[in-house]
Structure 1
Amino acid sequence: MEVSNSLIYTPLLINPVSTAGVSTKGEPSVEYFICVKSIKINEKTALLKASLLSIDNNGFGGTKISTVNPYTTLEASIYKAFSEAFIKEAISMNITRVAPVAPFDVCFSSKSMVSTRVGPRVPTLDLVLQSETVYWRIFGANSIVYVNNDVACLAFVDGGSNPRTSIVIGGYQLENNLLQFDLATSRLGFTSSLLFRQTTCANFNFTPNA
């Protein structure tokens, strides 16, 4: 199976201001940014403040990809709109909400979830990129984390007010998604969950052809 044939591409952006802990004034960020224009839950657009999704002249806002953050963090108002929309859709799917388990604010009874090839059946999430037809779909395997046998939580956390970057896509959301950083053409190729194709990153053979 040649998974790379199914890659979807979106431009890699340059933040004009470094987001590193130590940097030189005027130095652009070397981290990977992409343009998320909206977020959909079960194909319904969450009401977000659009200005937070763009990088301003001071380097604040926008969306970056991080392997340092274990879970995706969202600016407080984005998190509120996102989580409320997710809860509404989950309840409509007869998924039962339960008490939160730190560091997560939104948790559900795992007994009320049905297992599928791509994780528990929960509302699908779409990060809509440069156009409505280009989006990164996130299924239950990357949106829900089991904290014990009975409780599963929404694997996104509140990043607080006025964070440097509005959305930081964390490691859990990247698991078993193939990413191709094409620096020569400044674009990111990505798949949705490889579980949908009945494979995982662990199955890849990276040995060069003789």
Structure 2
Amino acid sequence: MDWAMAELIRHPEVMRKAQLEVRRVLNGRAKINEVDFKDLPYLNMLIKETLRLRTPAPILVPRYSTETVELGGYTIPAGSRIVINAWAIMREQNGWEDAERFLPERFENNQVEFVGTNYQYIPFGGGRRICPGISFSMSTMENVLANLLYHFDWKLPGGQNPKELEMKEVSGLSLTRKSDLFLIATPHN
């Protein structure tokens, strides 16, 4: 959520587009319902893009090769420990055009999903060891983010320039922001 709000503050045009979508779908209702999320494709795209650019688990759970294989010109001996760098995969220029740019529209008409054989997009891992909490995580992000965008307008304190917001990453078990994010929420009428 922290990364999503930071990216939205840095890209006010994306925030405005997402707010307009959520506010149009809710049409004055006080509460969002689970069925509303199917009508919020832009919200889904911005969550996917946040997870691509700011993947929660930059290094996936290690795997072990059960047999010797050739992969990309390299020999991987049986019993080798294999570490997958999801952060690098999802910023790979060959898989993503303008990979360092926050661009939710890249997921418009894009069939890349969390599960399946799209190994260029693995914010929740992949294969047999994919995160079992994908559905919970996604529904939580959709619900919280939709409510934050619906009920409030957001800005940085003290007239800070959104383009100058600190976006340094600290890698550990999860990818976090180096500095805390402070925002001012103004209730939306």
* TM norm. shorter chain > 0.5: no
Greater strand fraction, Structure 1 or Structure 2: 1
TM-score bin (small chain): under 0.3
Structure of larger gyration radius? 2
Greater helix fraction, Structure 1 or Structure 2: 2
